[in-house]
Amino acid sequence: MLPSPVFTDGGSLLVDRIIAALVWLWFINLFNFMDGIDGITGVSAFAMGLGTFVVLGLNTLDPAGAFQGLAIAAVALGFLLFNWQPARIFLGDVGSIPLGFLLGWLLLNIAASEHWPAALIIPLYYLADSGLTLAARIRRRENVFRAHREHFYQRAVLAGRSHATVATMILATTLALAGLAVASTLLGPAATAPMLVAATVLVGGLLAWMCWPSAGATDSESHR
């Protein structure tokens, strides 16, 4: 159902579809793994949904996909009313896995529509946090299937920041990434490198902030 090849332009369509399926499956899992504090999945789904809505809606690239992105953003916003710290309801696997499935599909459609920079930029924080954490655990030869609290957002909470503060920073960053993705789509290939560099700097700054100890943090705050 994808409009064109995603990863193997001019190559085997079967190989391309296998790679796309594996990337999609990976994204579903990382989206689920990142659901670890109040509000994080809600703000991320809202910002990513909004980003896919604008990108897919530009020049009627994919009107149906654009509406789906907007629907995800609206649902996530409603969910946040109950999931913001202190959360009263939680997604669990039954919520985060379908969200990863749907957003992953929309991002694959953006990539298949020759706007792969936008498809990479929109979820870049999630890709960086989960990817770097996984790489570090593999390097230390840890069991990557075992639960842990080593993601950057978890380090930020352990460093003394509240769930709400961390989620707000992730929201601001992901909205900014969505803006860069839209800019890369509007400005064309010439803007690819600058937008990717800007997105990398933005995410790098967020990860550094998450690792920096919070001034005046108390033990109770750091484990909240």
- Model pLDDT for residues 24-69, shown as the tens digit of each residue: 999 999 999 999 999 999 999 999 999 999 999 986 778 899 999 9
Q: What is the structure's pLDDT at 164?
A: 97
Residue 215 vs residue 152, higher pLDDT: 152
Contact call for residues 76 and 51 (beta carbons, < 8 A) = no
> Has residue 111 got a pLDDT over 70?
yes
pLDDT recorded at residue 217:
53
Closest CA to 131 of 117, 161, 103, 152: 152
Q: Which pLDDT band, with edges at 50, 70 and 90, does 215 fall under?
A: low
* Residue 219, pLDDT above cutoff 60: no
Q: Looking at the whole model, is its pTM more than 0.95?
A: no
- Span 3-29, mean pLDDT? 89
Distance CA 80, CA 39 (A): 6
Residue-averaged pLDDT of the chain: 91
What pLDDT was estimated at residue 10?
72
Amino acid at 42: G
Phi, psi of 31 (to 5 degrees): -65, -40
Q: What Å distances lie between residue 179 and 11, 56, 96, 135, CA to CA? A: 32, 13, 24, 28
- Quick count: other Cβ atoms within 10 Å of Cβ 201? 10
Q: Residue ranges of the domains in the chain? A: 13-222
Cα atoms in the Cβ-side hemisphere of radius 13 Å centred on 134: 12
Instruction: Please give the share of the chain, as a percent, with pLDDT higher than 70.
Output: 95
| Contact between residue 121 and residue 48 where contact means Cβ atoms under 8 Å apart | no
